[in-house]
Structure 1
């Protein structure tokens, strides 16, 4: 019996060693593919972009579960042109070293905001957006806006001169153009921020508890491999939801565009976080797909799986539709549902001026 026990113990140790080796090699292969296709290191902004066709992994969830076969997610042979910005954030906020030495890590939040919503932007600036260093985390907030020809240009110029935190792109302010703002923010972050930052996307009527936001990010961080942290749905995670087919609704999706009955799991677009290296990869992959106005689904579900399929985002099980997204059902952020008074009152209670962290 003693000999048999020793034999079983040796087999168990050998099996564990094999699994650890496979995981290590998988990560090494992923890093090689990452640097080959994206051509930048983890300690510097990217200097070049994907050229030509995207690579593909036949056994990924993107292909096995059929998401890549839908008309919506058919890949283009050449990438879409990049955005041209009308207004840039002043002084390249990501390179501001004022808090760098005191911060354990840094996060930039790209807030999708209608150009008319100056009041909401001001509420954010004086509450959670003013927490430049909290719990040893450095925070930078920029507002991504479109254009409205009916609005006086002087107003937006004055706002930018005072705060210097606007990123404006030349698209009209419409419901179906919101997704372009997400990609524009990702493009700016890719060019201006280090890839070891954290990236978050937010609506301008969200009320985050930054302590909880930072706490959940730190819970999900992958130790020595910061860039492998999954997407975190700070507001809520949705699963087994399908497209609306009724054409009477503005967010209906024709069957010929997306033929599947459900979407992969996705974050509601109010507030979600991911490593900047992942947002860089998702942005690059997005340039090979036709635009889909539902940025919640497009970015955190379909483009996420497409980036995994292309080998640009690491995942231990590429066949899993939860690959690279955390099974965390939010709660760090509340929705004000466009009610600016509620938003102002609640946020002012959490972040009273002058705010002093507990």
Structure 2
């Protein structure tokens, strides 16, 4: 998470961190505009501190993940049932998996004053690259590190999902084989739900 100017919240965060040691904080104020930076800070930390047999995931704050089902899904996805290794990749070869929503052909919002408005000057094409839209996506720690490094030389776009899982993923020059929709036959409907 980012920083806060609220002294009460800051005190609560320090208490939580000292008691549980479960907070990663980067030195930018937390806001909707800084979400891409926050996600990339998490990718940087994960790729610097975790081994390549870990999975990195990004989950929106209005989602609830059933952890046991996630582990079962990942084990099914990563452990081949047959000898064709192209069907189910190992950790390092795991593409970005769009668990919540895969966007194969999504158009930029051209409505002025919309929260998601993007001008033609910022993006002139008719469609975004294939990407994961919000909710949840996951990838190998190795992929997270590669995306973090390429972000240092990729023009900023405040739409974090499009920027990270679309533009930067595409800059890895692997075509679209490094992104996939979740495999529905392996996916338990109780795995992920949106908080109402």
Instruction: Give the TM bin, normalised by the shorter chain.
Output: 0.7 to 0.9
- C-alpha displacement of 1:259: 0.8
Are residue 334 (structure 1) and residue 188 (structure 2) matched?
no
1:224 CA drift (Å): 7.1
Residue matched to 1:220: 77
1:172 aligns with 2:32: no
The 8 Å contact of residues 52 and 91 in structure 2, kept in 1 or not, is answered as no
The DSSP-based 3-state class of the residue aligned with 2:121 is coil
- Kindly indicate whether the alpha-carbon contact (under 8 Å) linking 1:305 and 1:323 is maintained by their aligned counterparts in 2: no
Distance in 1, Cα, partners of 2:12 & 2:69: 35
Corresponding position: 1:294 with 2:159: yes
- The answer on whether the counterparts of 1:206 and 1:270 sit within 8 Å (CA) in structure 2 is yes
> Per-residue displacement from partner, 1:79-136 (whole Å, max 9, x unpaired)?
xxxxxxxxxxxxxxxxxxxxxxxxxxxxxxxxxxxxxxxxxxxxxxxxxxxxxxxxxx
SS of the equivalent of 1:179 reads helix
State the Cα distance separating 1:284 from its structure 2 match: 0.7
Question: Mind listing any 5+ residue stretches in structure 1 that lack a counterpart?
Answer: 1-144, 310-314, 338-358
Number of residue pairs matched?
Answer: 182
1:269-308 aligned at under 5 Å gives the runs 269-307=134-172
Matches within 5 A, 1:240-319: 240-307=105-172, 309=173, 315=174, 318=175
Larger Rg over CA atoms = 1
3-state DSSP of counterpart to 1:169? coil
Please, what TM-score do these two structures have when normalized by structure 1? 0.48
| Residues 126-168 of structure 1: per-residue CA shift (max 9 Å, x gap) | xxxxxxxxxxxxxxxxxxx112213433222111111111111
Q: Determine which structure has greater relative contact order: mean sequence separation of CA pairs < 8 Å that are 6+ residues apart, divided by chain length.
A: 2
| TM-score, scaled to structure 2 | 0.84
Does the 8 A contact of 2:53 with 2:92 survive in 1?
yes
Which runs of 5 or more structure 2 residues have no equivalent in the other structure?
Answer: 79-84
1:325 aligns with 2:182: no
Residue 233 (1) aligns with residue 90 (2): no
The runs of at least 4 aligned residues of structure 1 exceeding 4 Å deviation read: none
